[in-house]
């Protein structure tokens, strides 16, 4: 890359609107963010909690990120034998015979180089998703392609 060239990337989005990303600003943000106690370059994922369906007895959720969720869910409105009478003052019980154990796992939606980029994505797109979170991971030391790419655009990469 020519040293005299401006360090900006021209990016065209879906709406064909142009905006510029300052590489120097991105490098500064990347270098100063929390590296989560790793010397390897990190990347930031935005993940959404998605339903994977009913979990059979004796089984549990296996989420690749180690923290899937299981919830008892029910819809007594569709039951032939409702748990309570709407005319009475009874409240719906915490558990009924029609409950189903439903599993949820975290599914990657997008990835970023900075947590700032991930937070901006969540703010702009939370209306399109359910529950979102930020998950940090690192590029493996043998991911030579990504390490070379980061080095090429001027990021400091520890070997």
The confidence score (pLDDT) of residue 33 equals 83
Between residues 35 and 111, the one the model is more confident about: 111
For residue range 43-73, what is the model confidence (pLDDT) as tens digits? 899 999 999 888 888 888 888 888 889 888 8
For residue range 93-116, what is the model confidence (pLDDT) as tens digits? 666 777 888 999 999 999 999 999
- Residues 56, 60: Cα–Cα separation, whole Å: 8
Mean pLDDT for the chain overall:
78
Tell whether the model's pLDDT for residue 16 goes beyond 60: no
State pTM to two decimals.
0.68
Instruction: Measure Cα distances from 105 to 25, 60, 101, 135 in Å.
Output: 34, 11, 13, 13
């Amino acid at each position: 890359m020519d040293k005299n060239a401006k360090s900006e990337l021209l990016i065209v989005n879906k709406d064909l609107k142009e905006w510029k990303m300052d590489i120097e600003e991105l490098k500064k943000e990347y270098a100063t963010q929390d590296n989560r106690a790793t010397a390897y370059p990190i990347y930031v994922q935005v993940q959404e909690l998605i339903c994977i369906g009913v979990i059979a007895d004796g089984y549990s959720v296996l989420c690749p990120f180690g923290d899937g969720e299981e919830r008892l869910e029910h819809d007594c409105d569709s039951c032939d034998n409702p748990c309570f009478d709407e005319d009475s003052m009874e409240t719906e019980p915490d558990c009924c015979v029609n409950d189903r154990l439903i599993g949820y796992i975290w599914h990657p939606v997008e990835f970023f180089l900075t947590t700032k980029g991930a937070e901006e994505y969540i703010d702009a797109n939370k209306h399109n998703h359910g529950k979102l979170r930020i998950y940090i991971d690192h590029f493996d030391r043998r991911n030579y392609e990504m390490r070379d790419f980061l080095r090429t655009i001027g990021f400091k990469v520890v070997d």
